Structure 1
Amino acid sequence: MYKMILVDDSERVRNGLKMSMDWSKHQIEIVGEAEDGLEALQLIREVKPDLIISDVIMPHMNGLELTEKALCIVPHVKVILLSGYDNFPYVQTAIRNGAFDYLLKPSKIEELFAIIEKAKQSKA
């Protein structure tokens, strides 16, 4: 079972992601959620997730910074960033910081799921 956390300052987005599919059917357990980067960092230390789906723009610590710090704690974690901003410098920074992928909101669940499956297959 792959452990996943959801990080977004919008409870509506987190709930939408949780309800979007039967995660356990795909061998994924949502082990926590956070509404900002600092809260996520604490959660990452506690649960050592395999996957993180995170917003980019959040209070206290953005998703780009979170990606970099998460990989220091859990080097194998795959971070998928979601953003409403089509901003190429964000994408560049995300890749430099080790993000697995970067999707624009709103994204189709099929697109997100395909990236999650690719992340699971690339797990060392």
Structure 2
Amino acid sequence: MSRILIADDEESMRLLVGRAIAMDGHDITTAEDGSEALEILVENDGRFDLLLTDIKMPIMDGIALALAAARDFPELTILLMTGYADQRERASGLDAIVHDVVTKPFSVADIRTAVADALAAKKTS
């Protein structure tokens, strides 16, 4: 079982993704924005296996969160989500710290596969 932190400002998306990933037995923690997610990471000394974050969020977006998380917790695997092409472009320069970018809308199977791939890559690195 892996510990996964989900950050998304849309409650329905947090619930959907959380339930989908929990189906695979993972321990899920959620945050409403990047700032809250970073606080959770710090409080837990980065002890998560995966950070799954939306890019476009208020207060602190997913890219700022990914940069801070990678700086403070370099072992943390990061997976981004976005429904915006321009946000995907912004993420393209983060290949060194981000495992992948999942495009919304996605199916439950798609997000479960993306999470499984990210976690599998972490184990082999």
- Structure 2-normalised TM-score? 0.85
Mapped pair 1:46 → 2:43: yes
Q: What percentage of residue pairs aligned between the two structures are identical?
A: 27
Contact 2:20 2:112 in 1 (8 A): no
8 Å Cα contact 2:20-2:111 kept in structure 1: no
Aligned residues: CA RMSD? 1.6
* Partner deviation per Cα, 1:11-39 (whole Å, 9 max, x = no partner): 11101112225131xxx211x21111111
Unpaired runs of 5+ residues, structure 1, are: none
SS at match of 2:69: helix
Contact 1:7 1:35 in 2 (8 A): yes
Residue by residue over 1:53-103, the C-alpha shift from the partner in whole angstroms, topping out at 9 and shown as x without a partner, is 11101111110111111112221111111111012522313425x111101
Q: CA deviation at 1:10?
A: 0.7
Which deviates more from structure 2 when the two are superposed, residues 61-70 or residues 14-23? 14-23
4+ residue runs over 3 A deviation: none
Question: What letter matches 1:7 in structure 2?
Answer: A
- Count of paired positions: 119
Q: Is the 8 A contact 1:36 1:60 kept in 2?
A: yes
Q: Superposition pairs for residues 104-115 of structure 1, below 5 Å?
A: 104-115=103-114
2:33 maps to 1:36:
yes
Q: TM-score, normalised by structure 1?
A: 0.86
Q: Distance in 2 between matches of 1:45 and 1:91?
A: 23
Trace 1:1-124 onto structure 2 (pairs within 5 A). 1-21=1-21, 22-24=23-25, 28-30=26-28, 32-47=29-44, 48=46, 49-87=48-86, 88-95=88-95, 98-123=97-122, 124=125
Segment of structure 1 superposing worse, 14-23 or 102-111? 14-23
